A and B are shown apart, each in its own frame.
Chain A
Amino acid sequence: MQQVNLPYDPYNVIITGVGGQGNVMASRILGNMLSRKGLSVTIGETFGASQRGGSVMSHLRISAVSSWSPQIPKGQGHLVISLEPTEAMRVLVNYGNPAIKVLCNTRSIHAIGVISGEQQYPDLADIKAWVAELSEAAWFMDATEKAMELGNPILGNIMMIGAAAAIGVLPLDREDFEAAIAENLSLDKQELNLKAFNLGVGMVK
């Protein structure tokens, strides 16, 4: 097992989005990839009542030393992978700090309060500015749009994993991604997911 150096130990990643965007799948794959590096990984997840349309969040605790609790303490996030712009804001208020990094998909999903007109959905330009202000580094990508070109909007989650690998803060290798999806997906789906991963890498480089 090679020696792995993490910027922080534990390194805390939050994957957030809206029910139906493949949040849980993304956390499994990311966790699996890091576990393959010999790291201790704990993933905390909230699902069950998170029907499509609800906020969903996965907490990943990555450590070279020991296992950590499935809930990141307040203000202790290091990397946010957000599949929906306003969800990034929701995470930052609870887990943000001046050193946090954010990868954010730009495709909005309107809550029913917004659809009904009781609430306002902010302008994307504003969200981008706010996320940038509250983070050390932020990347925005049109993952869902690109995924629809591949034939399925759900692949946006895999593009975000590709992007997370590309920013280089964690030991996320393409080989580990291939091995992780081989455990869960059929061959034809693996090919499509690898394409999505590669596109994600390209989106932040």
Chain B
Amino acid sequence: MNTHVKITNVESADLSRRSFLVGTAAAGLALGYSAVPGLDSALAATAPAHFDPSVWYSIAPDGLVTVTCGKADMGQHIASTMAQIVCEELGANWKDMRVQLASNDPKFNDPVLGAQITGGSWSTMMNFDAMSRAGAAGRIALTEAASASMGVPAGELVVRDGVISHPKSKKQMSFADIVKSGKATKTFTADELKAITLKTPDRYTLIGVSVPQLDIPSKTNGTAKYGIDVMLPGMAYGAVVTPPVRFGATVKSVDDSAAKKVPGFIKAVTLDDKTGTTTGWVVAVANTFAGAKKAADALKIAYDGGPNAKLSSESLFTEAKRLQGLDDSGQFFVKDGDTQAAFGTAAKTLEAEYTTNINIHAPMEPMNATAEFKGDILHIYSGNQFATRSGAIAAGAAGIDPKFVVMHQMWLGGGFGRRLDADMMVPAVQAAKAVGRPVKVIYSRENDMTMDFSRPLTYQKVKAGLDADGRLIALNHDVVSAWPTARWGIPDFLSPSVDKKGPLDAFTVNGSDFFYSVPNHNVRAIKNEMAHNATPSGQLRSVAPGWTFWAVESMIDEIAAATGKDPAQLRISLLDGAGKNDGGAQRLRNTLLAAMGLAGYGTKKLPKGEGMGVACVSSQERATASWTACVAHVAVASSGEVTVKKLTVATDVGTQVHPDNIRAQVEGAALWGMSLAMFEKATLKDGGIEQTNFDTYTPLRMSQMPEVAVSVIANGEKATGVGEPAVTVVAPAIGNAVFNAVGARVRSLPITAEAVKAAMKA
């Protein structure tokens, strides 16, 4: 079972053993951990030119507090959230808070993960404690300095809105005054930092308040800078030409005679990608992007299609079925009890296949990167979710040591997992090297879609065994897919298998280790090597729970139908909290009840052709779950066409830092779930992705948006993630609603009118 991700082979921040320093530097107060490269020198620096403000946060002599966010901000406002957590304990005024984005310096690594990676809806839960303690340490140091300056006991001081006051004497000092005094200097040992008593939730004045997000104004007037907006002196532009085959093609020859006639054309560069990220790519470099694109279109390139050139979605499904049928395929992720024996005693068995098609991230900002060689240093400008690995890929493309790569983080024009990958670094680096100038490479939408590290095509087989009373006593669940995380080549991102057959990619099966009590339960993770090679897959918003719950939550409804039970009541009975499910199961049950209540589930008879369906999930991982339930209300026409009338989502997030942001994330995630369930489908043909732009790959538009109701449960437990879980609950809720409306069971995503109509007849 995937209890937690621990990356130990990446340079670890391991803040647990480090002292926390508060010190006056030339340009203000710097706060951060010791023995972190740069911080000691920052504190020791005397000349402003040497001051490195890139620590966890700093306070300038004017009182402005700048928090450096080591997380990629792709619209989840995580930079603002980090500032909010610091601000709560520091006692600063929200209007004085600023944020900046970190470089790939290891000092900005995640305190839990030990690397710079943003995903899994992990950021708030894994940084809440560290940021709180950083804020509190700053408040303590400032208070002690104020106490010394005012000549009053520190215990009598009140910190509020960036001002430290002494009510008895009516003396006060602002943070700015204290910073200017230069007296706030303090070192906390690791134990002292750990011993700081943090505020209890009843004392919060900022956590739980929907403060204005710090990044939003710049996103209403065009001033927010994304990777694509980077401009460097002397910069050239690169447009990539990608082969007709997604992976495995090679360039046989390039004829640039027509490209040479394009004004401003510089060079066509065939990539030599030793990182194995891209195959058969060519970059056309020119003085302008329009020129580069024109030149790219004019290149005549001959390819060898390679080993995957004849594969299609159908071949990947066929291979998946073949693998599932073998007794010795894959590895066990869950092996509870003895399913084989239990099936032997079962009064009834149900079997079903569930599939999902290839899905494309398609963030609105197409992939891009700008590379500049300056002395020994390679500078990369790009919005990226995994600076630690992407820097290494850039180094690999350049043939240099990763320590010579500086990644400059930008705002991300959408991430959704796509920017965990680093393919865009390769053409930028090799083009910059080839032409001796900084180069900005921008993918066309066609490059972006056909070369996506997609959500893999998945095939799942689920077999359920029921006893004579209709109780679920056994469940076998096989999951066959490409393995997105295995592709990274970082062993610690893989999980040991229960049957000790070597590591498996838990990011293909997370969610299948659910909180229902099923005494005999097997989950097999089976790698579809053919799909893995032909369609290099990636982490798409919510990853495995996006397909595992499609299967599990559909099957639970099939069991309810087969045993004449109400699907919601069946779930409640399975969420009994027995044994290892204690705690989580009850939270999930309560969340389901909340969604049912908000949706009016079962309270009135719906018109003919309409139905409600429920689903509940423990996304993302079992150990990092946000408890999320959905009631979908649909209307199904006789043509099979499905209209989603309303999605009601309830989610238990423990502690809410920013209620409005949680609602925005949950609503966005729910609509993503619906878009994947209804509108988004990519297909492989002759080794290439057929869909190239938003005319054929069609995410949800405004006119297709249903009513969305969100209920957020904040019960004081630890803060959990909100960016992804609601994605995963929607597809099964819609599928179950369709069944309840017209009796048609659909087992493949996306749900099409044809499939519904066919199932209605069956």
A and B bind: no
